[in-house]
Structure 1
Amino acid sequence: MGATQFLERPGGRLAYEVRGQGPLVICSPGLGDLRSTFDDLVEPLVAAGFTVAITDLRGHGESSAHWPSYTETDVASDLLGLAETLDAGPAVLLGNSYSAAAAVIAAANEPSLVAGLVLTGPFVRDQPASLVSAFGRWLITRRWIGRRVWNGYWARLFGPQKPADLARRRRLLAANLAEPGRFDAVRAMLRSGHHTADQALPDVTCPTLVVMGDADPDFSNPENEARYAAERIGGPAEVLIVRGAGHYPHAECPDCVAATAVRFLQTLCFNSPTTP
């Protein structure tokens, strides 16, 4: 991977790295996760002729730990700020979960900076909560036990097709979230809703690819959720359902997601590269 760089933002600094040369794709993970979630997706995108920037969320990974707020709109602003800093033309925003919602808001707010969206496991609207899920969410947001609950819950978000190095990823994530202030970001993001992203969907006019694992435990019906997002988006949208994948299809089945993402990216109307 490339060397870690930092982008100064109001309230903190974002860690990111860049590889490749060509049209810009910015990858951003879900809450309570690290930018390394995209490790297996970067190489196919770079090989296809794209510049790929992967960033840690505010409060996560190598980004600074203490920020004044952690809303999806804040993350959208961070993604747009990185796109402007890299100055490689309109970017494709590839966001997972919480970052998928932020990418939607970014595309709606600044369409001139966003050429397209790839949304994996997107949380773009509030989900009905059962008593069990509501209690689990409450536990995760508790200071005294939340981090341990999240570490266990995170591993269960993967479907049957788990990455071979899942145990290593889990150890790295647990160590990062144990650093002072980091789990505060997770707690804050979990407490915020997705109303802004839901309202922004019709204002997105760029092409969008929605990627959903059919075994995603965060949704009662993952396929319906993917189609809801695609149908509400104002621009052209398509859906990829990854069989046997959970909430992180880009990490669980990177070859499948990369093949569809590369084809999608090359159809966008902005100096699309040709596959070598």
Structure 2
Amino acid sequence: MKLHVPGGHIAYDLTGPEDGPLVVCVHGMGDNRSTYRLLAPELAAAGYRVATMDTRGYGESSTGWPTHSHEAVAGDLLALINALGRPATVIGHSIGCAAAVSAAATDPDSISALVLIGTFAGGNKPKAWMRAASWLVTRTPALWTTFYKTLFPAAKPADFPEAAAALKSNLAEPGRMSALRAQTAAILAGLDLRYSEVRCPTLLITGTKDPDMADPAAEATRAAEQLSATDATIAMIEESGHYPHLDQPQRTRQAILKALPAMALTAETPAP
């Protein structure tokens, strides 16, 4: 399916019962909507109407965008939610969390709850060697997928070889790497993470072995502390890296399905 927005179109899949509560999933940098291939069917089977979207420049979405900022992605996300019927629970991964948070801060009526997988607290400036490494791995699809494999330090899904090859092939299409390079540059420059403006219940999911973080538990705690205006909870997924929804899908599914009803109740409770 395609949603036409100013500047191009956003590709997405939709599964689950038409009358189910809406969940919209936003992937991270250098990825596409297939990252939710194990989680989306489980949520749909539990009764949710699940949309997985390719953010601008990735997957089957169009290329040639003037910007790939997380604020722009947040605008696309809100457009999709409004097209499908708001409000929605939004599940974000990695830099997709920044877009999810921005959308929730911008239009709180459209987002009833957030699930942030592998999110960052922000505020840490990358070291010089990290800047050089980031520049290197975004030069070619082959180098990026080589780096991508390191984000699964404990386990990989059974279909990982095929999925990694498909990701590499997609990124090799004209214009795809532009999105990756733009998002890498934004991360190195420092993202404006609007945690303090979020008002909806939020679940933070972090892998205990996430190689993108020096201390995954501390990173999740710092992010939760910034969500002081909302009800924020943390679920640490044991033996998981940067992709809990892929390397520990059952544990991740359980954490989300356990939290969603409680978050829905919290969202519906009037503020005192």
TM-score normalised per structure 2? 0.92
Residue 119, structure 1, aligned to residue 116, structure 2: yes
Query: CA-to-partner distance for each residue in 1:103-128, whole Å, 9 max, x for gaps?
Result: 01110110000000000011352533
Cα distance, 1:129 vs. partner? Answer: 2.3
- Counterpart residue identity of residue 12, structure 2: Y
- Counterpart residue identity of residue 206, structure 1: C
Structure 1 residue aligned with 2:102: 105
Query: CA-to-partner distance for each residue in 1:218-266, whole Å, 9 max, x for gaps?
Result: 1111111111111111200000111111111111111111111011111
2:38 alignment partner, SS class? helix
Structure 2 residue aligned with 1:269: 264
Q: Distance in 1 between matches of 2:140 and 2:126?
A: 18
Does structure 1 retain, via aligned residues, the 8 Å contact 2:137–2:147? Answer: no
The more displaced of 152-161 and 51-60 is 152-161
Alignment of 1:34-183 (within 5 A): 34-87=32-85, 89-141=86-138, 145-183=139-177
Structure 1 residue aligned with 2:251: 256
Q: 1:240 aligns with which of 218, 235, 238?
A: 235
- Counterpart residue identity of residue 9, structure 2: R
| Structure 1 residues not aligned, in runs of 5+ | none
| Structure 2 residues not aligned, in runs of 5+ | 268-272
The alignment covers a number of residue pairs equal to 262
Query: CA-to-partner distance for each residue in 1:185-224, whole Å, 9 max, x for gaps?
Result: 1001111134321xx1111010000000111111111111
Structure 2 residue aligned with 1:29: 27
Does structure 2 retain, via aligned residues, the 8 Å contact 1:100–1:124? Answer: no
Q: Distance in 1 between matches of 2:80 and 2:121?
A: 22
Cα distance, 1:34 vs. partner? Answer: 1.5
Q: 1:17 aligns with which of 1, 5, 13?
A: 13
2:37 alignment partner, SS class? helix
Cα distance, 1:151 vs. partner? Answer: 1.5
1:270–1:211: structure 2 CA closer, same or farther, 3 Å change rule?
Answer: same
Query: CA-to-partner distance for each residue in 1:109-159, whole Å, 9 max, x for gaps?
Result: 100000000000113525332343222012134xxx443321210111112
Alignment of 1:157-236 (within 5 A): 157-193=151-187, 194-197=190-193, 200-233=194-227, 234-236=229-231
- Counterpart residue identity of residue 104, structure 2: A
CA RMSD of aligned residues (A): 1.6
Query: CA-to-partner distance for each residue in 1:74-102, whole Å, 9 max, x for gaps?
Result: 11111111000001x31011000011111
Q: Distance in 2 between matches of 1:84 and 1:183?
A: 29
Cα distance, 1:270 vs. partner? Answer: 6.2
Cα distance, 1:269 vs. partner? Answer: 3.1
Does structure 2 retain, via aligned residues, the 8 Å contact 1:35–1:56? Answer: yes
Q: Distance in 2 between matches of 1:49 and 1:180?
A: 38
Does structure 2 retain, via aligned residues, the 8 Å contact 1:127–1:219? Answer: no
- Counterpart residue identity of residue 250, structure 1: H
Identity value in percent: 39
Does structure 2 retain, via aligned residues, the 8 Å contact 1:140–1:187? Answer: no
Does structure 2 retain, via aligned residues, the 8 Å contact 1:6–1:14? Answer: yes
TM-score normalised per structure 1? 0.91
